[in-house]
Chains A and B, each alone.
Chain A
């Protein structure tokens, strides 16, 4: 997953706690994405950013916020975690013709 760095790799939260997932890229691509993956449901888009300073909602944005402060970094914040947000989260960057390159993922458990 060289080129897309995600932190942390694992996290356990209690209901109501907040946290931020970080994603950084060194591939100089404009598009960045946050997906969640749940068993049997494939990857679902939470938010994406077509370029620095812009963000848009995806399929499942409720309960999340994002920030694209510069071209390299795109963060995902859970303000008040809920058990329904237990999932594996992937950051991705969009290359030529929207070929995605994924980070290594964050396994999040909300108790």
Chain B
């Protein structure tokens, strides 16, 4: 059983819409959660981190964490074509000593 699950997509949204990306994880003791964006042919870059239940907003991005349900989501408001990329969810599980486990990513396309 994969520890971090994401819908691989592709997910397509029109420009200006809200894109919603979801991630579930298996280890209930996980404490740290991250969203990375990866453009085609490039390396991943961190866009959001979240450590406690609730919402965390940064510009057009909002990360949501629900530890009871073991899911973390990323909302992108006013989506732009430049947001088209693969979004990777990553989790530090309990007892893993700094090791991040990544989901396989969701490919997002924002249509002009």
Q: Is the CB of B43 within 8 A of A105?
A: yes
Tally of contact residues, A, Cβ under 8 A: 24
Q: Is the CB of A40 within 8 A of B104?
A: yes
Q: Is the CB of B104 within 8 A of A41?
A: yes
Chain B: CB-nearest residue to A31? B98
A→B interface (CB under 8 Å): 1, 31, 40-45, 48, 50, 56, 58-59, 90, 94, 97-105
Q: Mark B86-112, 1 if CB is under 8 A from A, else 0.
A: 001010100001111111110000000
Contact of A97 among B36, B49, B97, B103 (CB under 8 A): B49
A102 and B92 contact, Cβ closer than 8 Å, known pairs A42-B105, A48-B98 = no
A99 and B34 contact, Cβ closer than 8 Å, known pairs A41-B104, A90-B44 = yes
In the complex, whether B17 has a CB less than 8 A from a CB of chain A is no
Residues of A within 8 A of B42 (CB): 104-105
Closest Cβ of chain B: how far from A30's Cβ, in Å?
10
28 contacts between A and B (CB under 8 A): A1-B43, A40-B8, A40-B104, A42-B4, A42-B105, A43-B90, A44-B102, A45-B101, A48-B99, A50-B97, A50-B98, A56-B97, A59-B101, A90-B43, A90-B44, A97-B49, A98-B92, A98-B100, A99-B49, A100-B36, A100-B44, A100-B90, A101-B46, A102-B44, A102-B45, A103-B43, A104-B43, A105-B43
Closest Cβ of chain A: how far from B3's Cβ, in Å?
10
Residues of B within 8 A of A50 (CB): 97-98
